[in-house]
Amino acid sequence: MRTIQNGNSGPLVTYAQLSLRRAGEAPGSLDGFFGSRTESAVKNFQKRYGLAPDGIVGQRTWAELFPYLSAYRPVRIAEGDTMYGLAVRYQSSVDAIRTANPSVRPENLAIGSVLNVPLPFYASAWEVPYSSLLNGIALDGLTKRFPKIRVFSIGRSVLNRPLLAASFGIGGIAVGINAAHHANEWITTPLTLRFLEEYALAESQGGRIGGFDAAELYRRTRLVLVPQVNPDGTDLVTGYLAANDPAFQSAMGLAGSYPRIPFPSGWKANIRGVDLNLGYPAGWERARAIKFAQGYNRPGPRYYVGSAPLSEPENLAMAELTEREAFRLTVSYHTQGAEIYWRYGQKAPVGARRIAEAFAAASGYAIADPDEQSSYAGYKDWFIDAFDLPGFTIEAGRGTNPLPVGDLETLYRENLGIFVNSLALAPDA
Ligand SMILES: [Zn+2]
C-alpha cells in the first residue's frame, strides 16, 4: 500500500485510522485527514511494534497495521503455544480459531505451522468508505476467518481490477446477491458483506440468523455474493482514485458534459461512463431510446446505456456468472427509496409476488414498480426476462446518495429479513 503521512487525505488514511483505533490508539475521527492526532497515534503504534517512530505509514508500518484491517493475524506456532494461549494473547476465542483452521488438531499444534487467528473485529468494517482495495481485504478476511466462504474472481473491470465473488453454502439452490452496480451506492457493499459475515458466524456456532437455522440454510442453498459489481466507479466516488490519475481525469472530462450532476459524488456509471444497470439485454433498445431522448446520449456519470448490451466487462461477467451458477433467485442491491421492484414490465415469475410480500413484511419497504423511464436493461429485468425466475431490485434506505456509513445499522436491521428470505424462499429446481 502507498506510503501516507501528515498532510495526506483519502480512503487509505481512513483505513490507517481505523486500524490504529482497533489497535487501541487514538487517531481522532475516521475522517480520512492525516493530521497531528493521527501522526502521534502512528508514532505510539510504531513504538509498540518496535518500528522507528517517524509517524509515517510506510510498508513496514502498513504490514503491522494490516491485521487490524483484515481482522485476522497469521501466527507461526512456537514451542509451547496452545489454542487457548493464542486466544488470550490476541483477544480471540478457541472457537473462532478452530473455525478459521478446520484441519488443525487443537491438542497438537505443529511447531512452525501458521494459523490464522481471528481478531475481535468484523472483516466487514462499517466505519469507512469501500474502495476496491477494501472490498478485497474484507473478502480475504472473511475467507480466512470462515474458510467455508470461497472467494473467486468472475472477471476484470475496465481498469483490470478483479471482479470478486464469494460463495457460501453446499446446497442445490443457488441464490445470487449483488451490490454496487452503481458507484455512489457503494454502501451496499459493506451491507451485503456483513450479511455474509453474520451468516457464516451463525453457521459456525450452530446458531440462527434472522430467525432461520443458519446450518440448514447452508445445507440447502448456495449463496453467491458479488459485493461490488463496479469497483472502478466506486474507486472514483470514494476518492481512492487520485485526482491526478488518468482514469480520474478522463471521468472528469466525461462528467463535464453533464454539469448539473455533482462530481464525483453523483457518479453511478463504470469508469468509462456506462451505467451498468442499463447494460443488460432486456429492452435495451427501449432503454436507449428513452435515455437518449432525455439527453443521456454519450458517456457520463449516469444513464448512458453503452454501445450495445453487455458491451462492458462488468455486465458480461455478471451475465456469465448468472448462467454458470443457474441462480434460482437474485437480489440486486441499490440505494435509495425503501422500495422493492419485483417484475419486468408485466412479466412476473411464479411465486415472485409472494416473495416480494415477505421482503416487504420483513423490511417495511414498499412493493413498487419503477417508472417507465427506468424499467429496462437492468440486471433484475434481464434475470426475469431470460430465466422467468424471481429477481428483485432493492432500493435500500432513505436519503441522498451516497448514503453515509452511519446509516448502516438501520440498513442492516431493515434488510436482514430480505437477505435470509432470499435464501429460504428461493424456488427449488
Ligand atoms: Zn442504483
Average pLDDT score over the chain: 97
Q: What percent of the chain has pLDDT over 90?
A: 98
30, pLDDT greater than 90:
yes
pLDDT of 273 reads 98
pLDDT of 216 reads 98
Annotated catalytic residue within 130, 376, 379, 414: 376
Helical packing angle, 408-424 and 352-363, nearest 10° = 150
Distance from the alpha carbon of residue 371 to the mean position of ligand 1, in angstroms: 14
Q: What CATH number has the domain spanning 123-429?
A: 3.40.630.10
Residues in CB range of 17: below 8 A, 6 or more apart: 27, 28, 29, 30, 31, 32, 38, 41
How does DSSP assign 298-328, residue by residue?
SSSSS----SSTT-SHHHHHHHHHHHHHT-S
Q: Cell numbers at residue 71, please?
A: 481482522
pLDDT of 370 reads 85
CATH fold of 72-118, please?
Membrane-bound Lytic Murein Transglycosylase D; Chain A (3.10.350)
50-101 pLDDT per residue, tens: 999 999 999 999 999 999 999 999 999 999 999 999 999 999 999 999 999 9
- How many CB atoms are located within 10 Å of the residue 153 CB? 11
pLDDT of 339 reads 98
204-232 pLDDT per residue, tens: 999 999 999 999 999 999 999 999 999 99
Distance from the alpha carbon of residue 428 to the mean position of ligand 1, in angstroms: 29
Q: Cell numbers at residue 391, please?
A: 429477481
Of the candidates 139, 148, 98, which has an alpha carbon nearest to the alpha carbon of residue 118? 98
Domain 1-70 top-level CATH class? mainly alpha
pLDDT of 54 reads 98
347, pLDDT greater than 90:
yes
Of the candidates 114, 101, 78, 191, which has an alpha carbon nearest to the alpha carbon of residue 147? 101
Domain boundaries, given as residue ranges, for the chain: 1-70, 72-118, 123-429
User: Average of pLDDT values for 34-38?
Assistant: 98
pLDDT of 101 reads 98
Q: What percent of the chain has pLDDT over 70?
A: 100
170-196 pLDDT per residue, tens: 999 999 999 999 999 999 999 999 999
108, pLDDT greater than 90:
no
Rounded distance, CA 322 to CA 304, Å? 23
Of the candidates 70, 359, 419, 361, which has an alpha carbon nearest to the alpha carbon of residue 223? 419
355-402 pLDDT per residue, tens: 999 999 999 999 999 888 889 999 999 999 999 999 999 999 999 999
Phi, psi angle pair for 247, to nearest 5° = -70, -35
Distance from the alpha carbon of residue 12 to the mean position of ligand 1, in angstroms: 25
pLDDT of 373 reads 87
Distance from the alpha carbon of residue 182 to the mean position of ligand 1, in angstroms: 5
376 is catalytic: yes
User: Average of pLDDT values for 146-166?
Assistant: 98
- How many CB atoms are located within 10 Å of the residue 372 CB? 10
Distance from the alpha carbon of residue 185 to the mean position of ligand 1, in angstroms: 6
429, pLDDT greater than 90:
no
Which of residues 166 and 105 earns the better pLDDT score?
A: 166
218 is catalytic: no
Annotated catalytic residue within 312, 339, 395, 414: 395
305-328 pLDDT per residue, tens: 999 999 999 999 999 999 999 999
User: Average of pLDDT values for 95-116?
Assistant: 95
